[in-house]
């Protein structure tokens, strides 16, 4: 009897380990479970860009709100199944693995070559996956009858700077963003691209998408030595300092 119980326990343990092996931790409270669902369970911060002395502050535990999760498809949001929201100041949400088909995955025109068309990236820069369909995940929340967007920043200790040219007193978080994409297959780009119609622009891309959920760091800045606006997009793993921020 004891050996039979031991076999059952070992079987359960092995099944549990197999399930864990298929799960993936991406950092900042973001993970992908063994079914391919995106799971986010992380502290939420609030940033008031019009405040007198704005800073990143933890959302109070009194905040409970629904979160709209979508992948825009041009004129409307892509259909996603998800549950959760902001719970006691914490971003707690599970987004089911999309079940796309040829007709309705993210609507129309969302392969990477089309998404990057504004940057004039030639298909020749793709190692593979130029026609693979992708979509970028976005979050919105209604708090106090206002609609705010939730962003993922790579560094909670980033500097807070005032917008150089603005009619109002407005601040921003220095540095770039991290963005979450869902891809139907593998995509690879590694290139530096000059836009022929924008002489003062350059794009630098090092993107490796696998099938499923992917994270990209996006940063824009002006290089005074080159006299060019630079856009950098790299595939990344989130650091422990990455943070979810609701921008007011």
Evaluate whether residue 183 is within a structural domain.
yes
- pLDDT at site 174: 86
In the predicted model, is pLDDT for residue 106 greater than 60?
no
Note whether residue 223 is domain-resident.
yes
pLDDT on residue 123: 60
Number of H helices and E strands in the chain, helices first, is: 2, 19
User: Rounded to 5 degrees, what angle do the CA atoms 174, 177, 178 make?
Assistant: 150
- Percent of the chain residues topping a pLDDT of 70: 73
> Which residue(s) pair with 77 in the sheet?
72
Domain coverage including residue 98:
26-247
Q: Does residue 94 lie within any of the structural domains?
A: yes
> What pLDDT digit, counting tens, does each position of 215-226 carry?
999 888 877 777
Of residues 239 and 108, more confidently modeled: 239
In a domain, 5, yes or no: no
Rounded Cα gap, residues 209 and 187, in angstroms: 5
Our count of domains for the chain comes to 1
User: Which residues in 48-174 belong to E strands, given as ranges?
Assistant: 57-58, 65-70, 82-87, 90-95, 126-128, 134-136, 138-143, 146-153, 160-162, 171-173
Give residue 7's pLDDT: 45
Distance CA 176, CA 238 (A): 13
Q: Do the domain assignments include residue 73? A: yes
**Residue 82 maps to a domain:** yes
Q: Residue holding tokens 């996006």? A: 218
Please state the rounded mean pLDDT for residues 132-153: 86
Instruction: Confirm whether 133 is domain-assigned.
Output: yes
In a domain, 226, yes or no: yes
pTM of the shown model: 0.79
């Amino acid at each position: 009897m004891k050996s039979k119980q031991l076999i059952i326990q070992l079987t359960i343990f092995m099944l549990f380990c197999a399930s864990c092996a298929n799960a993936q931790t991406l950092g900042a409270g973001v993970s992908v479970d063994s079914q391919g669902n995106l799971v986010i369970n992380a502290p939420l911060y609030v940033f008031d860009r019009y405040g007198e002395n704005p800073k990143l502050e933890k959302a109070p535990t009194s905040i409970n709100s629904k979160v709209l999760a979508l992948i825009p498809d041009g004129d409307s949001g892509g259909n996603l199944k998800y549950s959760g929201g902001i719970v006691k100041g914490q971003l707690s949400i599970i987004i089911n693995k999309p079940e796309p088909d040829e007709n309705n995955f993210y609507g129309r025109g969302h392969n990477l070559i089309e998404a990057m068309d504004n940057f004039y990236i030639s298909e020749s820069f793709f190692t593979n996956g130029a026609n693979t369909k992708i979509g970028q995940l976005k979050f919105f929340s209604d708090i106090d009858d206002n609609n705010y967007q939730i962003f993922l920043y790579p560094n909670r200790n980033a500097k807070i700077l005032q917008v150089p040219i603005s009619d109002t007193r407005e601040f921003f978080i220095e540095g770039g963003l991290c963005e979450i994409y869902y891809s139907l297959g593998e995509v690879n780009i590694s290139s530096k691209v000059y836009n022929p119609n924008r002489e003062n622009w350059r794009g630098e891309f090092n993107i490796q998408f696998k099938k499923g959920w992917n994270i990209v760091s996006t940063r824009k800045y002006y290089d005074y030595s080159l006299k060019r606006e630079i856009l950098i997009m790299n595939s990344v793993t989130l650091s422990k300092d990455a943070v979810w921020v609701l921008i007011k």
